[in-house]
Amino acid sequence: MIELFSANTPNGKKISIMLEEIDYQYKVTKVDISNGEQFKEYFKKISPFSKIPVIIDHKNNQTIFESGAILIYLAELSDKFYNQNNRLEINQWLMAQMGYIGPMLGQHHQFHHYNPGKSKFGEDRYFKITKRIYEELDIRLGVSKFLAGNEYTIADIATFPWIARHEWHDIGLSKFKNLTKWYNEICKREAVIKGFSFMNKNETPPKP
């Protein structure tokens, strides 16, 4: 049994989607990050930066923080979505999500969605970077069915919940044909639908 410490955010959804994809039994423990629960002692012990998601694999008592590391752990455990022959490619797209796509879109959420009007510089900067990311992903998905090639991998699982926040981005997902096609394809997966609604039964990925 895997215990998933999480909140209803894109980083949180990566792991519930992965657990549904590999069909592992898991229990969700909600961490109320809007009320500071992530700073409690019990949580800091398993998450040194006080961030969700974290998992505990109760089979071997292994604790793992950082969503990319968790995805790799679960992929290796299940032997799914992380093909040995394509790891270099998958790692690049996964790291790009972890180091670039997620952090940049996260800043865009802060300036454009949560705090509009507070900093024109911040709003303009992250709007522009988000648009650029949409363009870059669209170019990639024009030559590759999924991010790391022909197969759906943990790089797609990591990136999808961030694009699923497209309504907050205001870039206009439907203008990006290849990205939209990829998004719609992933939206159809049963495990994605289940994992997406892990904290709110009625939540579905918004249409482009």
Ligand X SMILES: N[C@@H](CCC(=O)N[C@@H](CS)C(=O)NCC(=O)O)C(=O)O
Which residues contribute to the site for ligand X (CB under 6 A)? 7, 9, 11, 33, 38, 50-53, 66-67, 98
Residue keyed to tokens 């012990």 = 45
Amino acid at 56: I
Closer to ligand X by Cβ: residue 57 or 138: 57
CB of 190 to ligand X, least distance (A): 24
30-36 contacts at long range (C-beta below 8 A, 24 or more positions apart): 30/6, 30/199, 31/5, 31/6, 31/7, 32/7, 33/7, 33/9
Within the chain, where are the H helices? Answer: 10-21, 41-44, 67-78, 87-96, 102-108, 120-143, 154-163, 166-169, 177-187, 190-196
CB of 5 to ligand X, least distance (A): 10
Closer to ligand X by Cβ: residue 33 or 173: 33
d(CA 173, CA 179): 7
Closer to ligand X by Cβ: residue 51 or 189: 51
Closer to ligand X by Cβ: residue 71 or 138: 71
CB of 66 to ligand X, least distance (A): 5
CB of 34 to ligand X, least distance (A): 9
